[in-house]
Chain A
Amino acid sequence: MPNLLKAVAFLFRRDLTVALRRSTDILTPLVFFVIVVSLFPLGLGADPAVLRTIAPGVIWVAALLATMLSLNRLFANDHADGTLEQMALAPYPLTLLVFTKVAAHWALTGLPLVLISPLLAVQMNLADSAIGTLVLSLLLGTPVLSLLGAVGAALTLGLRGGGVLVSLLVLPLYTPVLIFGAGAVSGVVTGLDIEAQFSLLGAFLALAVTFAPWAAAAALRVSLD
């Protein structure tokens, strides 16, 4: 397939272009991320010691939820206007096209979360030494969230109750990433060795990249049937 690389690169650019022209779609999850984190001091009191303890978990959970919220723009819009069908009819492996879409989705959803997390870390009084770990853990973890989320989004394509239903399907699957991602950050705060956490996050990423696009493509074909 001589044009495969060109097609993939073009699809990536297309998704970025469409998303950037609908910039509210990108900004909303980001703002949600910030708001959710800000709710915790309001709900729990602003005691710096408490905030510092809960910071890793709170930021990670907020990232999970923000990713969930953004999943509907992965396939739903293309499904509604018929462009997803055209992609399914393209003479290229749907797995690769799905991977490209998820990559474009992460670039404009997951990556901004990663980049804004230091600000939220400061808000939650997280130790400065842990901010690097937070960013790195999110950098490894958010792609996994997008990839697993893609499977959920593909399964629930066009269904009523879409958003909440996707959450129900995918949030239990997110728990390992959450445990090790937040665990890495709290680990570094208490001075533990966090090599294991990062190895596992890396392993999750490798597994997700290998299998999630394929599962999502299969789910898309089922949904388009």
Chain B
Amino acid sequence: MLEAVDLECVRGDRPLFSHFSFGLAPGELLHVRGRNGSGKTTLLRTLCGLTHPAAGAVRWNGADINALGDEYRDQLSYIGHSNGIQGELTPEENLRVDVTLSGNSDAEIIRATLERLGLAPYLHFPSKVLSQGQKRRLALARLFVQKKSLWILDEPLSALDVSSVALMTELLVDHLERGGMIVMTSHQEIEVETKSVLKTIKLD
């Protein structure tokens, strides 16, 4: 259960939003919308704990995420604007880093995930040769190898082609149906058929 309580965020000297609250339960997806510059990315980074809010708190199961520290970070995966991919390493090596840093030890899932996302042909190439869309898919692959319950995604579907968007949407729904939580921003409309609750919030 993720909660934002009375959040106020600023960027430099510029106030972005204030008195922002929401709650997110397992199986729910929160779609954050707003104009460019309205603070969507800042909000997501605040939920991760990377950025500190000017006021308010973020709570996980009732406890402040700053107090939880590592314990909270063990529950989440974050995909930001940058892909978090080291260009010199192969896709497999990159995912192995993600797996190890996430505290999991299930390494077999790496090959399977790469295949599912259509990156199998590039197994032994340094990641810098991948196209933008392929890099984005590799970044998203992190979600499946880290197996965390809370996914915080900043424009996850950008740079993806139509079939990849469909695949990813399917995988997002899958995660929700298994009790996971997602907070994401996207310029696209999210069309899903799911029993899971879809909430939309607008930042202005």
Interface residues of B (CB under 8 A from A): 48-52, 70-71, 73-74, 76, 78, 80-89, 93, 96-98, 100-105, 126, 142
Task: Please give me the 4 A-B residue pairs with the lowest Cβ-Cβ distance, nearest first.
Answer: A82-B82, A91-B74, A82-B84, A90-B101
* Dominant secondary structure at the B interface: loop
Q: Let me know if A21 is at the binding interface, CB within 8 A.
A: yes
Contact B88 A92 (CB under 8 A): no
13 A-B pairs (CB sep. < 8 Å) = A3-B105, A14-B97, A18-B86, A21-B89, A80-B82, A82-B82, A83-B85, A85-B80, A85-B82, A86-B84, A89-B73, A90-B73, A92-B103
Report the separation of the CA atoms of residues A90 and B98 in the bound assembly, to the nearest whole angstrom.
9
Contact A83 B84 (CB under 8 A): yes
Report the separation of the CA atoms of residues A209 and B76 in the bound assembly, to the nearest whole angstrom.
30
Q: Digit string of A1-18 for contact with B (CB within 8 Å is 1, else 0)?
A: 101001100110010011
Q: Digit string of A66-84 for contact with B (CB within 8 Å is 1, else 0)?
A: 0000000000001011110
Report the separation of the CA atoms of residues A83 and B51 in the bound assembly, to the nearest whole angstrom.
16
Report which of A7, A17, A91 forms a contact with B71, defined as CB distance below 8 A. Answer: A91
Give every chain A residue within 8 A of B78 (Cβ-Cβ). Answer: 85-86, 89
Q: Digit string of A214-225 for contact with B (CB within 8 Å is 1, else 0)?
A: 000000000011
Report which of B86, B105, B126 forms a contact with A83, defined as CB distance below 8 A. Answer: B86
A-B residue pair count with CB separations less than 8 angstroms: 84
Identify the closest chain A residue to B94 (Cβ): A83
Report which of B50, B83, B101 forms a contact with A7, defined as CB distance below 8 A. Answer: B101
Report which of A78, A89, A91 forms a contact with B86, defined as CB distance below 8 A. Answer: A78
Report the separation of the CA atoms of residues A78 and B89 in the bound assembly, to the nearest whole angstrom.
12
Report which of A7, A10, A21, A85 forms a contact with B88, defined as CB distance below 8 A. Answer: A21
Give every chain B residue within 8 A of A90 (Cβ-Cβ). Answer: 73, 101-103
Interface residues of A (CB under 8 A from B): 1, 3, 6-7, 10-11, 14, 17-18, 21-22, 78, 80-83, 85-93, 224-225
CB distance from A138 to the nearest CB of B (A): 29
CB distance from A158 to the nearest CB of B (A): 12
Report which of B80, B93, B103 forms a contact with A3, defined as CB distance below 8 A. Answer: B103
Give every chain A residue within 8 A of B86 (Cβ-Cβ). Answer: 14, 18, 78, 81, 83
Given contacts A11-B101, A82-B81, A92-B101, 16 further A-B contacts (CB under 8 A): A1-B103, A3-B100, A11-B100, A14-B97, A17-B88, A21-B126, A80-B82, A81-B82, A81-B85, A86-B98, A86-B142, A90-B103, A91-B71, A92-B70, A225-B51, A225-B52
